[in-house]
A = this chain, B = another copy of it.
Amino acid sequence: MPSGSPIGDREREILTAIVETFIATGDPVGSRTLARSNREGLSPATIRNVMADLADAGYLEQPHTSAGRVPSSEAYRYYVEQLTGKASLSQEDQGIIKDSLHGVSDVQEFMERTSHVLSLISHNVGITVAVGGPKNALEHVYFSRLGDQKVLAVLVTRSGLVRDRVLRLDLPQEDLDAAARFINENFRGWTMEAMRAELARRLEQERSEYDRLMKSVEQLYRQGALTADETAQVVFVEGASNLVTGEQDRQRLQELLQTLEEKQKIVELLGAYLDAKQEAVRVVIGLDEALPSMRNFVLIGAPARVGDDVMGSFAVIGPTRIDYQHTMTAVSYIARLFDKILNESE
């Protein structure tokens, strides 16, 4: 054992070889097969020794005594770190993306199509989340009386995310129009966050005055007409059928599909792991910590940003033996494309 340093040169090489052949074949890999495909002619016995070391160090696991080795989560993490990230997306994939996203210019639609595209080119589950985050710039609001006691509030952000909700309010249309005009004139272009803060301040200040306008605004504000925060997400999950090809048994498969149906959970998952600050693609190995049904599944995702605003996220969920390099470049490509398209369209 190369005591001390966790992994030496030879170990690294063998480890990546194991990970790669396992990803390719799906079968536990043994010393024999490895020896054959290895560039430097190492004998199976040598490899066996190294493998034993790696197993001790926690990088490999044995399904049972006389089977080959399977990479552990640790191994995948290590493997992913090794990846250069230099690869670029194949012409074919770029073509698929271009075709699907042709002419799209608003966030929602981009997200919807993208989840599909991601599932197509990754052959796994493509997920996108659009959050109406507090950093979004307000384009305008619109209120419309729907019937007795009901008001429809439509809120549009600069990037084209539309959020509508029905409120229980009883205001005449003219008051609604006045309130909308007031907000649009004063706050167009503000971030949701800032707008809400300022609005709260003014409402506080002018509390005493029994201004009709401000009263309407206050009621709307209270009822959440102006929120477009984390709870206002739109989630797209596509390509669940790709999971059937995997080697899970029925039960696990069902649990997986169920989990994917719980959009809320998915949003939390992405939210928890995809840091707004980080630019690049992030790979999360060991999803079962958050979601037990996701044992042996990984998340490859990136935040969706326009300039410095985070509009949501892109992700692929697939088995640990996913094609990391390919998926990572795909996700990253799409994230960059998103920024580019949305930025220029403003």
Interface of A toward B, CB cutoff 8 Å: 105-106, 109, 139-140, 142, 144, 146-148, 150, 152, 154, 156, 158, 160, 162, 164, 166, 238-241, 244-245, 250, 253-254, 257-258, 261, 345-346
Contacts and interface: CB of A to CB of B under 8 A. Distances in A.
Contacts of A164: 106, 156, 162
Would you call the interface of chain A mostly helix, strand, loop, or mixed? Answer: mixed
A150 B105 contact: yes
B160 A139 contact: no
B241 A261 contact: yes
A278 B308 CA distance: 53
Contact of A146 (B152, B160, B250): B160
Contacts of A156: 144, 152, 154, 164
Given A146-B158, A156-B164, A162-B162, 10 more contacts: A105-B166, A106-B166, A109-B166, A139-B146, A147-B346, A148-B345, A152-B160, A162-B164, A238-B261, A240-B257
A244 B239 contact: no
B160 A166 contact: yes
A142 to B, nearest CB: 5
A245 B250 CA distance: 8
A261 B158 CA distance: 30
13 contacts: A139-B144, A139-B152, A146-B160, A147-B346, A150-B345, A154-B156, A238-B261, A241-B254, A241-B257, A241-B261, A244-B250, A244-B253, A244-B254
A68 to B, nearest CB: 25
A109 B166 CA distance: 10
A321 to B, nearest CB: 18
B345 A146 contact: yes
